[in-house]
Structure 1
Amino acid sequence: MLRDRHGRGLRGPLMPSVLPARKTSRQYFDELAMAVVTRIEHQVSASLNTEVSSLRHIEFAVADIPPEVTPFDADIVEDAGVPLARLFPAQPGTVAAAPRIVLYRRPIEMRSASLAEKELLIQSVLAEQLSGLLGISPDEMD
């Protein structure tokens, strides 16, 4: 309930949470990650002369923090021992039939001071994961 304290006017949020203009940091990160994925798809299809559908079978996901991992997992991109992303390979015959790349939002946000840095970090992490999955060098992905 909003009320007028000490004659300074009604207090409350400037933008109610039900309006689409108010987004959380998670929603901003998801939009940025999807924009980077779309850009990488177009770059890969243009450089390899293939269709964009070659990356459509890969699932992309975002998690807030990484789960506990063993130190010998090879499909993890780390920075100072903290996972930034992980590749889950395809497992035919199961629910996870497509390969999945999971970005970890909080570690990536903690390592980037600006939106441009965050975008570059997401791009480099995805390029490294996709290069291992597709058998392409990370330089070709960038």
Structure 2
Amino acid sequence: MTQARRPAPVPVPARRRDRHGRGLRGPLLPPYLPAWRTRAEHFDEVVVSAASDLARRLPQVADMQFAVEEVPPSDPAPWEGGVVLGRGFAAEARAGLPARIVVYRRPVTSRAHSEAELGELVRRVVVEQVALLLGRRPEEIDPDLA
């Protein structure tokens, strides 16, 4: 008597849940919707938009770097009262670093109550820091600010 060979086991595909016959689960938000982005990514876009709008008016702004950090460092400068919303750092020619402006996300978003307020506050912070670095008044940088 010859022994029959058993067929090799067939891999079973992973079961996906199909509760109550409603179809397979999919992503809650497709990637092309605005809500797909995180709050931090959205804030970054607001800062980039404010900086690029300013760079169209002033060519000096195009040479500056803009960054976003969550919170300011715990050691504020003596002249900074309260919570800092942004800081400007002058260019360092010896180190080859351009002028830099940092906007702090958490303090700015906690003060804005709507999307429009957030955009306006970010624009105000960016304009004030650019004005400090260029040694001019904010109203000279952005006449709409006044």
Range class of TM-score, shorter chain? 0.7 to 0.9
| Rounded Cα–Cα distance in structure 2 between residues aligned with 1:2 and 1:64 | 38
| Equivalent position SS for 1:101 | strand
Q: Which residue of the partner structure matches residue 131 of structure 1?
A: 131
Larger Rg: 2
Matched-pair contact (CA < 8 Å) for 1:2–1:12: no
CA RMSD of aligned residues (A): 2.4
Could you state the TM-score of these two structures normalised by the residue count of structure 2?
0.73
| Rounded Cα–Cα distance in structure 2 between residues aligned with 1:134 and 1:116 | 27
* Cα distance, 1:12 vs structure 2: 6.3
Name the CA shift for 1:105/1:2 in 2 (closer, same or farther; >3 Å): farther
Matched-pair contact (CA < 8 Å) for 1:65–1:105: yes
1:1-142 alignment to 2 at 5 Å?
3-4=17-18, 7=20, 9=22, 13-15=27-29, 19=31, 21=33, 22-43=36-57, 45=58, 52=59, 54-72=60-78, 74=79, 81-94=82-95, 97-142=97-142
| Rounded Cα–Cα distance in structure 2 between residues aligned with 1:64 and 1:137 | 27
Name the CA shift for 1:64/1:8 in 2 (closer, same or farther; >3 Å): farther
Structure 1 residue runs of 4 or more that deviate by more than 3 Å after TM superposition: 1-5, 7-13
Q: How many residues align?
A: 125
Gaps of 5+ in 2: 1-14
